[in-house]
Structure 1
Amino acid sequence: MTDNQVESHLPLTPLSIHILLSLVDEERHGYGIMKEIERLTEGLATSATGPVYLAAQRLLETGLIEESENRPAPEFDDQRRKYYRLTDLGRRVARAEVDRMARLVQVAFDRGLARGSLTIVSD
């Protein structure tokens, strides 16, 4: 996987990066993705069902996420749900997007557009 493959996906839309971030630690279905985005952003980013499913479909088509065959026990599952997981490419793209955003935020801090201080740690 080349850097060009990763960079060809950048920049991501806010909803796309939110979806990728929601899938970093576990597989989720559409509604679970929506709830995780709400939790991660402390309610600052919410979305209706339609846009989340459309964005997930685009991420699926571009290989950043994939459908998962892993499912909860039948008594805890609804067979109509599709579960998604992050692909290796999706993880690399998410990391590159977060790095890109961090550099931008650092510029804002350096230019006095944000209060306090910020230290960005990179690998």
Structure 2
Amino acid sequence: MASIRRPSFLILLALAPAPLHGYAVIKEVARLSDDKTRLAAGTLYAALDRLSDEGLVQVDREETVDGRLRRYYRLTDPGIAALAAEAEQMRRDARMVTRRLSAARPVGAPRPA
């Protein structure tokens, strides 16, 4: 499976606990990323459409609030599996980085004889 792009990963992560509507996804992605990732509405809905086409998310329900349609999205079983697989890949990558950094010699240290 190909790696999930960061915004899509954060969208899936935002939806992991429970279905959310679009604006709630935007706010949760910002919170999860410490405001480093801020999704515009157009970007979010394009990503949700793509994730839906890939079978990773689906519409959970729709409701009307103050005369506006609010669509809630949720993870599908394949979406849960993709998120779990991406998390496992991140764990493997972090272990690899940790091993390589522990083997790195400090800058300016003499070379072994």
Q: Which residue of 1 aligns with 2:99?
A: 110
Task: Report the TM-score when normalising by structure 1.
Answer: 0.74
Which of 88, 91, 109 does residue 77 from structure 2 map onto?
Answer: 88
Tell me the amino acid that sits aligned with residue 26 of structure 1.
Answer: A
In the TM superposition, residue 108 of structure 1 has moved relative to its aligned partner by 1.5
The alpha carbon displacement at 1:47 in A equals: 1.9
The percentage of counterpart residues that share the same residue type is 34
Written as runs of structure 1 = structure 2, the 5 A alignment for 1:1-123 is 7=1, 10-69=2-61, 71=63, 77-78=65-66, 79-112=68-101
Please list every run of 5 or more consecutive structure 1 residues that lacks an aligned counterpart in the other structure: 1-6, 114-123
Q: Contact 2:62/2:71 (CA < 8 Å) preserved in 1?
A: no
Of Structure 1 and Structure 2, which has the larger fraction of its residues in strand?
2
1:58-117 deviations in Å (ceiling 9; x for gaps): 00111100001265xx6xx3542211000011000100011112211221222228xxxx
For the aligned residue pairs, the C-alpha RMSD in angstroms reads 1.8
Flag as ranges the 4+ runs of structure 1 deviating above 4 A: none
Match of 1:3 in 2: none
Matched residue of 1:37: which SS? helix
**What CA distance in whole angstroms lies between the structure 2 residues aligned with 1:88 and 1:94?**
10
Query: Which moves more between the two structures, 22-31 or 37-46?
Result: 37-46
Q: Which runs of 5+ in 2 are unaligned?
A: 103-113
Higher relative contact order (CA closer than 8 Å, sequence separation 6+): 1
Aligned length: 101
